[in-house]
Structure 1
C-alpha cells in the first residue's frame, strides 16, 4: 500500500495525525510505503521566526489559549507531551522540507519527520536554523556538509516551494492530508480507529 501525506512540520495537527497513523500501522500490521509531501502554512514567514500568539491574534482575533489547550489535549491523548508554553515562535519550514525530500531516497523520511516534529514541538528548537537541522538529521543519514549544502542551495529550496505550491494548486487547503493508494483520502488528525479502518479497507 502507498500512503501519501501532505503536511507541514509547523503544524501540530500534522504531528498528531502522523503519530496516529503510525500507531494504526503498527496495530494493523499493514505494510505501507509512506511518502511525505511539503505544505507551507506560512510560506513568507521571516527567517527570524514569528511570535505564534501575536500572529494568531492578528489573523483570527481573540485569545488563542483555548485553541492551544485543545491541541495539547489531543496530543497528550496520542502520547505526545505537547506544551505550548514552550513553543512560542513559528519558523519557516522550507529547509526542513528540503531535507525530508532527500531523506526519502535514504529510507529515513518517516523517522526524520518525527524527529523534526519533536525538535520543534517538544524542544522548541528553531527548525529553520541549518545548525539545528544538521543536529537533528545527523542520525538519519545526513552529514553536516550535506545539510549545509541542501539548505543553502536556492535551487533546492525553490523545488521545495514548487512542490508545496503544487499541493495548493491541486486543491489542498488544509493539512494533514492522507491519501491511501491514490484513491481514498482522509483529512485532519483523525482518531486511530479511523486510520485503522482506512488501512484495512484499502488493504482488503
Structure 2
C-alpha cells in the first residue's frame, strides 16, 4: 500500500511529522507492505537562494508576525521537536530557497532513497544549520547516503528533476493541499499536519485493512521441479 507525503524540508512540522509517522510504522504489524513516496512542496518559493535573514527575521519581515509571537512559536516548536526526539536550532537555520533540495530528493527518489534524502536534509537544516541551497552541501549529503556525487551534480545543474518537483507541487494543488506535511494513504485517506503517532496508526490500520481486502495474495497451485531457493540450495 502506498503512502504519499508532501513535505518541505525547511518547515518544522514536516520533520516532526516524519518522526511521528515512523513511530506509528514501528507499531504497525504489516510495515513491510507499506511503500512510502515523498513528494515535493514549497510553502514559499519566493525565498532567495542566497541567505539574507534568520528564521526569526523571515517570519517577522516576510510573514508580518509580531516578534514576541514568533519567539514564543519557535520555542514551542522546539519543545515539540524535542518530544519527538529531534534537536532544533532555529538560531543557526539558514533560510534559503528549497528548490535545489527538492531536486536532490527527486534524484534520490529515482534510486529509492527519498526517505534517506529527506532525513539528511531535515537534520542538516534544523540541527546542523547547513545551507541546503548550496550545491557542495547537497553533494556532501548525497555522498553520505550513497548517491553518486557526479551524477547528482549534473542532475542539479541541468535541472533534470525540476519537472518532477513541479509535477508534485501541481498535484498537491489539484487535491487541495495548502500546508505540509500532508499524508495520503492508499489514495483515499489524508492526514494533514504532524499528528500524533496514534492518529497515524489509526489511519494506517483502516486504510491497510481496505487495501488488503482488494489486494489478496493469489492462492496458487504449484507444480514443482528442480530449482534454487533464496538460501542458495539447488535441487
Q: 1:42 to 1:49 in 2, by over 3 A?
A: farther
Displacement after TM superposition at 1:157 (Å) = 2.7
Picking from 71, 74, 89, the partner of 1:65 is: 71
Displacement after TM superposition at 1:144 (Å) = 1.6
| TM-score, normalization by structure 1 | 0.93
1:128 partner SS? coil
Per-residue CA deviations over 1:68-122 (Å, capped at 9, x if unaligned) read 01111110000001122222x3111111111211222312111111111001111
Displacement after TM superposition at 1:50 (Å) = 4.1
Q: CA RMSD in A?
A: 1.6
2:91 partner SS? coil
Per-residue CA deviations over 1:138-193 (Å, capped at 9, x if unaligned) read 13232221121111114533542343244234321000000000000000000111
- The alignment status of 1:92 with 2:92, answered yes or no, reads no
What residue in structure 2 maps to residue 78 of structure 1?
84
Q: 1:29 to 1:102 in 2, by over 3 A?
A: farther
Picking from 28, 32, 35, the partner of 1:33 is: 35
Which structure ranks higher in relative contact order (CA pairs < 8 Å, sequence separation ≥ 6)? Answer: 1
Is residue 37–residue 163 contact of structure 1 (8 Å, CA) maintained in 2?
yes
What residue in structure 2 maps to residue 175 of structure 1?
180
Is residue 24–residue 193 contact of structure 1 (8 Å, CA) maintained in 2?
yes
> Highest Rg: 1 or 2?
2
Is residue 89–residue 128 contact of structure 2 (8 Å, CA) maintained in 1?
no
Is residue 94–residue 161 contact of structure 1 (8 Å, CA) maintained in 2?
no
Is residue 107–residue 152 contact of structure 2 (8 Å, CA) maintained in 1?
no
Alpha-carbon separation, structure 1, partners of 2:191 and 2:121? 23
What residue in structure 1 maps to residue 231 of structure 2?
none
Alpha-carbon separation, structure 2, partners of 1:146 and 1:44? 27
Aligned residues: 203
Is residue 51–residue 95 contact of structure 2 (8 Å, CA) maintained in 1?
yes
Q: 1:90 to 1:30 in 2, by over 3 A?
A: farther
Runs of 4+ in 1 over 4 A off after TM superposition: none
- The alignment status of 1:56 with 2:46, answered yes or no, reads no
Gapped runs of 5+ residues in structure 1? none
More helix by share: 1
| TM-score, normalization by structure 2 | 0.81
Is residue 5–residue 35 contact of structure 1 (8 Å, CA) maintained in 2?
yes
